[in-house]
Amino acid sequence: MFNLTATEAVAHLKQREISPLELIDAAAARIAAVEPAVNALPTLCLDRARDHAKALMAGQRRDAEHEPGWLGGLPVSIKDLTDVAGVRTTYGSPIFKDHVPATSHPLVERIERKGGIVVAKSNTPEFGAGGSTFNEVFGRTRNPWNTALTCGGSTGGGAVSVATGEVWLAHGSDHGGSLRRPGTYCSVVGLRPSPGRVTRGTSNNLFSPLSVQGPMARNIPDLALFLDTMAGFCPFDPLTYDAPAVSYVDAVAAARPPKRVAWSANYSGALDVDRETREICEKAVCRFEEMGCIVEEFDPGLGNLEEAFMVLRSQHFVVDRALQIAAHRDLIKPDIIWNTEKGMAQTPVEIAWAERERAAFYRRVAAMFQTYDIFVTPSAATPAFDVNLRNPEMVDGKKLTNYMGASMLNAAMTMASAAAVAIPAGFDRFGRPVGLQIAAPTRGEATVLGAAALFEQLTGLDKLLPIDPRMGTLPSAH
């Protein structure tokens, strides 16, 4: 059963051809088989899941059965940054290693109301900070394509859980690429929705558009299904708004090719991207021409956005982490302390400058979308790297200066408040997955999912999943 797509599994559930309990058993068996190799789902809640399944099968908890995004008893994973009532939730931090919340995050409540069954918590870097998934509580999560490599971060456990068939859908979050880079490294799909599309619920940064919640899956139709599950107004998040009149599943089914595609490999050289990645992605984006699209190189102009992003990200960390650092500095990893203290040292003038830079970039991107339907770039600057490293040491032959140094392809679309999806585009000479990032204007999830679905139909790369974990070694050129 783990080989079924989420869409197929939900169809079987609706027809009563399989039961939620059978899917939970299939997930449990698959988790037991692959977890020793990948460490993606360190916390299981199978008894809780079976109680939920029995309630659904008894006709209870089905008030959302006829709404878009109904999952009908499908097992899913929830990132370990997000509370699930009665289930150990650590945020990847030794401070919270024994934490068991009494209530669930509003998004988890929404997913469960829509018939999703939580079977496990997925591993994440400490407080979600970092491009490689490891922490002091649960250790490292490994890439199923080559277990010597990282799965990316911070939704690394989620990406691995769908790639290997442990679950059919995975929840995650994204600030500077945390749904998109793990998606790329594991050859699955991850969507960063526009701010407000999906509730962030309990965040202290409720009025910041930088960090969002979103879905991961093995293919685009499944991703659209899970976005339908998640999308909609939430009274606990002031940025949220109503779900669209046309479901994302229906929008994907009716997708038409975009007319004009803007493509940039590295923002005219402003960002470092490995040469082989650029070559693979440039060849991949040309496949849009097979649909009749016009594909043109275009650079909206990055300006000083990288510095501006770090300023605003650091302010985000001050809100989230300053009090914890004051109380538990010895239990928090250096990257988080560095990012938070950078924010604490910034002046109002620096913050104001960063806001102006962000606004100027947003206007340039908005102007681009007046001409082009989608904007395509590589979805990661370099393929997956050594699982024992916190970030790649080099990108295109240049040494990184901080742990976020390889993230600007993703962070740029974060700063533009764009809807952006990472989708597989191929493999490098060492068999490491490479992907494209496809972006559309804010609230343009239907556009970006439709374009990604048509691209996916051309490549067929989704048919390679789920995979059994593959033991491997580090590429000689790494």
Q: Which has the higher per-residue pLDDT, 400 or 157? A: 157
User: What average pLDDT does the chain have?
Assistant: 97
Taking alpha carbons only, the member of 415, 7, 64, 424 closest to residue 232 is 64
The whole-number pLDDT of residue 477 equals 53
The whole-number pLDDT of residue 402 equals 74
Span 20-30, pLDDT tens digits: 999 999 999 99
The whole-number pLDDT of residue 211 equals 98
Q: What DSSP designation does 242 have?
A: P
Domains (ranges, CATH) in the chain? 6-464 (3.90.1300.10)
Q: Give me the mean pLDDT over the 143-153 stretch.
A: 98
Annotated active-site residue 178? The verdict is yes
Provide the 10 A C-beta neighbour count for residue 327.
Answer: 10
Annotated active-site residue 407? The verdict is no
Which of the residues 178, 194, 211, 417 is marked catalytic? 178
Binned at pLDDT 50, 70 and 90, residue 478 comes out as: very low
Span 377-402, pLDDT tens digits: 999 999 999 999 998 989 999 998 77
The whole-angstrom separation of Cα 302 and Cα 289 is 26
Span 129-139, pLDDT tens digits: 999 999 999 99
Q: Is 129 exposed, middle or buried (0-12, 13-18, 19+ CB in 10 A)?
A: buried
Q: Is the pLDDT of residue 181 over 70?
A: yes
The whole-number pLDDT of residue 403 equals 72
Q: Is the pLDDT of residue 84 over 70?
A: yes
Q: How far is CA 440 from the centre of its chain?
A: 16
Which of the residues 104, 122, 154, 203 is marked catalytic? 154
Q: Give me the mean pLDDT over the 324-330 stretch.
A: 97
Q: Are 221 and 249 in contact (CB under 8 A)?
A: yes
Provide the 10 A C-beta neighbour count for residue 363.
Answer: 12
Which of the residues 79, 114, 121, 333 is marked catalytic? 79
Span 248-281, pLDDT tens digits: 999 999 999 999 999 999 999 999 999 999 999 9
The whole-angstrom separation of Cα 292 and Cα 373 is 13
Annotated active-site residue 283? The verdict is no
Please name the residue ranges forming H helices in 142-214: 156-163, 180-185
Using CA atoms, how far residue 191 sits from 140, 215, 404, 413, 438, in Å, is: 23, 6, 19, 12, 10
Portion of the chain with pLDDT greater than 70, in percent: 100
Span 216-252, pLDDT tens digits: 999 999 999 999 999 999 999 999 999 999 999 999 9
Quote the pTM value: 0.98
Binned at pLDDT 50, 70 and 90, residue 404 comes out as: confident
For the chain, give the number of residues.
478
One-letter amino acid of 221:
P
The whole-number pLDDT of residue 159 equals 99
Q: Are 458 and 283 in contact (CB under 8 A)?
A: no
